[in-house]
Structure 1
């Protein structure tokens, strides 16, 4: 199919990144493979470039709203690097059909968790949301005198730090294993495990996606980057524009609606992936 007709879909990828903090790579790889006939290796590599650059644009837009927890995002991304490398190694040892089927199951599980959370009444109405800009980032808490105060404070901090590290490593493992930017896992992890508000999780997840994308690209550079720079360049510009627009949309939509939209998107993609791969398991 002509690039002229397919390129506008890159804006949709950017919109999903800016508004929901994920879904870009999930959408981009099928576009490059099925509509532009790129081999999967080239599509996944090019997708990392597009998603990484459009996430950078989204960060700049979200920054003005104060939702980007930069230090938390950097620590989260750094903590997930080792998991990402291990996941990448495991991925090459897994049969493609099994890999994609597991990917779809993972998305369904996360979608259900996000849907259930979005249906609950907001806890602590009128109080600052956990993970909001008013609560101290865990990256700062590590050096804060409050973390060395009373035993109860130390225990609470230790528990929060353990959850942070385990979650980041797990997300990195999943990201490396499934070969995508990781927004589909980062946003639910920040919301469900760390208590971030949805807008803050969406904005901060873009920092993690940039780190994950850069790490994956660096790993692939050792064997050579197979990239169609004309296609990837056009898609990157359009996705970046979409990301800026999406971030503004996300700031005007209720967190519950964002959660529902994120869940619906993952269910649709998961069903498609299952339909494409489950029959191959029994062929």
Structure 2
């Protein structure tokens, strides 16, 4: 048990460093870590919601103080996403563990691919120059005063993207920052500089909703492992934010992408025999 707690603490620090230094991606490791420490797939995805929710909340507070969060829009998007999170959590509790494991393995491969693509775009953007995004005060999607008005195409886009984010969080116990950030830019027209910070608010809301839904299912992970993972992840996120100001984050991102690929390959290799 002592070794397991130590391993969870080290893994939590790594997850937090990624969240703090790179702005996301680290929470995808919470499920594989809990699986490696002897938790079942349903226990691991439940425990991951705690890690994701707490670290996202801590990160959201930091980002808000730095002025990188548009709170009202994040809360609105998160409120819409709650429905998907509840449905996803119920579906996860009913799904066979091999199916959960296979779905998570596929997700990790997608995340690794998206992280690689983001690095390529970042290099191109760095060579072409960069500019600072500023928030746009665009028209509201729905108003009731002085008269009712609905931008229905945007409202539908918000409903679909927020529900998809909630489903992902509820079913697989991950934050889904790689999906939330582009969803916020698509549905709410947030500039990229504010989407990352605002996404943490969304993730904290959807994680809490999914965890509350699972509370009555009898799925309980080893809470000591989850606590060790969570505490060190929060501490690591603070250290990661400071590290980002002093280190070449492109190298950190490349190293982390490689780690995600290795863990994804291992998870796939574990999932395939379970499905046969």
Fold similarity call, TM over 0.5: yes
Verify: 1:33 aligned to 2:51, yes or no: no
Change (3 A) 1:165 1:135: same
Which residue of 2 is the match for residue 4 of structure 1?
A: 6
Verify: 1:246 aligned to 2:240, yes or no: yes
Which residue of 1 is the match for residue 46 of structure 2?
A: 45
Which residue of 1 is the match for residue 180 of structure 2?
A: 186
- Count of aligned residue pairs for this structure pair: 270
1:214 deviates by 0.9
1:277 deviates by 0.9
Q: SS of the residue aligned with 1:211?
A: helix
Change (3 A) 1:78 1:253: farther
Change (3 A) 1:245 1:177: same
Change (3 A) 1:247 1:196: farther
Change (3 A) 1:95 1:243: same
CA contact (8 A) 2:169 2:207 kept: no
Task: Single out whichever of 22-31 and 63-72 deviates more from structure 2.
Answer: 22-31
Distance 2:72 2:50 in 1: 23
Verify: 1:165 aligned to 2:159, yes or no: yes
Task: Single out whichever of 49-58 and 241-250 deviates more from structure 2.
Answer: 241-250
CA contact (8 A) 1:25 1:181 kept: yes
So what's the TM-score if we normalise by structure 1?
Answer: 0.74
Verify: 1:62 aligned to 2:63, yes or no: yes
Verify: 1:105 aligned to 2:106, yes or no: yes
Consecutive unaligned residues in structure 2, runs of 5 or more: none
Which residue of 2 is the match for residue 14 of structure 1?
A: 16
CA contact (8 A) 1:171 1:186 kept: yes
1:48 deviates by 2.1
CA contact (8 A) 2:8 2:225 kept: no
Which residue of 2 is the match for residue 237 of structure 1?
A: 231
1:254 deviates by 8.5
Which residue of 1 is the match for residue 79 of structure 2?
A: 78
Distance 1:192 1:261 in 2: 29
Q: SS of the residue aligned with 2:69?
A: coil
Change (3 A) 1:230 1:53: same
Query: Residue by residue, what CA displacement relative to the aligned partner does 1:190-232 show, whole Å, maximum 9, x if unpaired?
Result: 4577665555333222112211221122112223563544443
CA contact (8 A) 2:20 2:236 kept: yes
1:184 deviates by 4.2
Consecutive unaligned residues in structure 1, runs of 5 or more: none
| Mapping of residues 261-280 of structure 1, within 5 Å | 266-280=260-274
Distance 1:49 1:74 in 2: 19
CA contact (8 A) 2:42 2:93 kept: no
1:142 deviates by 4.4
Distance 1:262 1:186 in 2: 20
1:243 deviates by 1.7
